[in-house]
Amino acid sequence: MKNFTEEIGITGHLIISKRDKATGDEEVVFDDHNIIVSGMGVGLSYLFTGSGSNSIVDYQIDRFQLGTSGSETLETSSTFELSSGLTLNDYGSEANSYIKEGEQLVNGSITTSAFSLIPASKVTRIDDTSVRYTLVVDEEMANVSDELNEVGLFMKNPTGQVSGERSILVAYRSFSDILKTTDFSLIFRWTINF
């Protein structure tokens, strides 16, 4: 039986590149499909039934998380959180990205998580049915001692939570271990096809 997002044809693809700080050269280190998770269906059901937020802005995919314990076992539509998402401190105090802590809806419960916001200038309409999110993890960001190996996209606030945003995971992917250093930035080019 197909899940909700398969029924309505939502798919995605992720390309991860390392950009050398000294030369600016890019090397593709990952190029594969992503997993649209049940949170996309949950968010869209709030929208279609009129039971969630009254603002279309709350249904935008505008944030992401990185993690250090990703695995192929999480690559199912029932995944609702990263295995080990980075904390606010893990992203680094010198990071040139906008990092914030906020609420996350996790399988019916609420947790506090750290997110990196995606600027509107990094969201590009490719065609009538495709949007690309360019997630930039600069040289100063996420230089933790563990390898990065998972990433997730989040819908802003589909429930319409009034006292702050309550985000929900909508797409997930694990990838080969990358030990992030100040020598390079990571560029995630994530295309979602609706």
Query: Of 10-24, 73-87, 149-163, 175-189, which range is least confident?
Result: 73-87
Query: Of 2-16, 134-148, 171-185, which range is least confident?
Result: 2-16
Binned at pLDDT 50, 70 and 90, residue 4 comes out as very low
Q: Percent of the chain scored above 90 by pLDDT?
A: 82
Rounded to an integer, the average pLDDT of 36-63 is 95
pTM for the complete prediction?
A: 0.92
- For residues 109 and 105, what is the distance between their CA atoms, to the nearest angstrom? 6
pLDDT at 128 > cutoff 90: yes
Binned at pLDDT 50, 70 and 90, residue 8 comes out as low
The first and second tokens of residue 61, run together, are: 């995919």
- For residues 111 and 106, what is the distance between their CA atoms, to the nearest angstrom? 7
Q: Which residues of 115-141 are buried (b: 16+ CB within 10 A; e: fewer)?
A: bbbbeeeeeeeeeeeebebebbbbbeb
Rounded to an integer, the average pLDDT of 70-93 is 87
Confidence at residue 98, expressed as pLDDT on a 0 to 100 scale: 86
Question: Which among 44, 48, 68 has a CA at the least distance from the CA of 142?
Answer: 68
Rounded to an integer, the average pLDDT of 22-34 is 97
Q: What is the mean pLDDT of the chain?
A: 92
pLDDT at 75 > cutoff 90: no
3-state DSSP assignment of residue 4? helix
3-state DSSP assignment of residue 67? strand
Confidence at residue 9, expressed as pLDDT on a 0 to 100 scale: 83
Residues with Cβ within 8 Å of 59's Cβ and at least 6 positions away in sequence, in order, are 43, 44, 46, 47, 52, 53, 155, 156, 158
In which residue are the tokens 């049940």 written? Answer: 38
